[in-house]
Structure 1
Amino acid sequence: MTPVPEQPNFYEQMGGHDTFVRLVDAFYEGVASDEVLRPMYPEDDLGPAKERLTQFLEQYWGGPTTYSEQRGHPRLRMRHAPFHVDPSARDRWLTHMRAAVVSLGLPPLQEETLWSYLSRAAFAMVNTFEPPAPHA
Structure 2
Amino acid sequence: MSESDPGETSFWERIGGRPTFERLVRSFYAGIRTDPVLLPMYPADDLEGAIQRLTGFLEQYWGGPGAYSEQRGHPRLRMRHIPFTVNPDARDRWLKHMRAALDELGLSPLDDATLWAYLDRAAHAMVNTFEE
- AA aligned to 2:69 is S
- AA aligned to 1:130 is E
Structure 1, unpaired ranges of 5+: 132-136
Matched, 1:124 2:130: no
Q: Under a length normalisation based on structure 1, what TM-score does the superposition of the two structures give?
A: 0.92
Residue 6 (structure 1) shift? 1.4
Partners of 1:35 and 1:18 in 2: CA distance: 28
1:30 corresponds to: 31
Partners of 2:29 and 2:47 in 1: CA distance: 8
- AA aligned to 1:78 is M
Matched, 1:62 2:63: yes
2:115 corresponds to: 114
Structure 2, unpaired ranges of 5+: none
| Residue-by-residue CA offset, 1:49-73 (whole Å, 9 max, x unaligned) | 0000000000000000000000000
1:11 corresponds to: 12
Q: Give the share of equivalent positions with the same residue, in percent.
A: 66
Partners of 2:96 and 2:120 in 1: CA distance: 10
Misfit runs of 4+, over 2 Å: 42-45
1:134 corresponds to: none
CA RMSD after TM alignment:
1.3
Residue 44 (structure 1) shift? 2.4
Matched, 1:43 2:44: yes
Partners of 1:5 and 1:67 in 2: CA distance: 24
Partners of 2:25 and 2:55 in 1: CA distance: 6
Question: Between Structure 1 and Structure 2, whose CA radius of gyration is higher?
Answer: 1
| Residue-by-residue CA offset, 1:112-134 (whole Å, 9 max, x unaligned) | 00000000000000000011xxx
2:91 corresponds to: 90
- Tell me if the contact between 2:43 and 2:50 (Cα under 8 Å) persists in the aligned partners: no
| Residue-by-residue CA offset, 1:21-78 (whole Å, 9 max, x unaligned) | 0000000000011000000013324100000000000000000000000000000000
- AA aligned to 2:9 is P
- AA aligned to 2:118 is Y
1:52 corresponds to: 53
Partners of 1:20 and 1:89 in 2: CA distance: 22
Q: Under a length normalisation based on structure 2, what TM-score does the superposition of the two structures give?
A: 0.94
